[in-house]
Amino acid sequence: MLTFRWDILFRSLPYLWEGAQMTIRLTTTSVGAGFIIGTLLGMARICQYRPLRTLAAIYIDFIRGTPLLVQIFLVYMGLPQLLSFPMPRLTAAFLALSLNSGAYVAEIVRAGIQSVDPGQTEAALSLGCSNAQVMRYVILPQAFKRIIPPLGNEFIAMLKDSSLVSVIALEELVRRANIVITRTYRPFEIWLGVAFMYLIMTIAISRLVAYMERKLNIDV
């Protein structure tokens, strides 16, 4: 009967924690960039300029309709071939995850904007506000308050999906786990430790989002 080697797991934790830190940094920066991309795309999806709406819809449909793993390969292997320049692993991972997150955030932002009562827009326009002022001072503050819960879900999903960048040998948590396993031949202990590390990170994010909801009195 095989025994559980706690000693191997504990010795590996500092090395795995360094990979978890890379995962956290990559996820945070990617979702941050994705939020900017998604906000612009979400506003483009509901603007009155039809070509812009169409381009935004094509981008969103392409990203949401293709696997993230394929998108990572396209960025890491396809872009260097197309543009004839090398793509560092970290840059490729950040770009692929940001572009992916942007498409999902765009739909979150669009839904948040459309959830604001149209009567408020009409009232603001009747008071002499321009369309830009209505969007900036009336719609977006309310929309962003309402999209905090789904943005939290997107952050958690991206945290777990970031494990896919291990296929391009970026040393985040999953890649580090694979390296440890090749040295120790103890996959159960290592993967169990990795699972708990992801669980701790996702629980922490969930608690943070719940705290923000309470502070802002968000009804979900």
Do 99 and 83 meet the contact criterion of CB atoms below 8 Å apart?
no
Angle at which helix 89-114 crosses helix 148-161, to 10 degrees, equals 160
Structure tokens at 99: 């572009």
- Which pLDDT does position 1 carry in this prediction? 55
- pLDDT 10s per residue in the chain (220 long)? 568 889 999 999 999 999 999 999 999 999 999 999 999 999 999 888 899 999 999 999 999 999 999 999 999 999 999 988 889 999 999 999 999 999 999 999 999 988 888 888 778 878 778 777 888 888 888 888 889 999 999 999 999 999 999 999 999 999 999 999 999 999 999 999 999 999 999 999 999 999 988 887 765 4
In the chain, where are the structural domains located? 6-216
Which CATH number among 1.10.10.10, 2.60.40.1930, 1.10.3720.10, 1.10.1240.10 corresponds to the domain 6-216? 1.10.3720.10
Residue in 137, 139, 111, 117 with CA at minimum distance from that of residue 38 = 111
Buried b (16+ CB within 10 A) or exposed e, 20-41: bebbbebbeebbebbbebbbeb
pTM, to two decimals = 0.91
Structure tokens at 38: 């998604």
The Cα–Cα gap between 163 and 93 comes to: 10
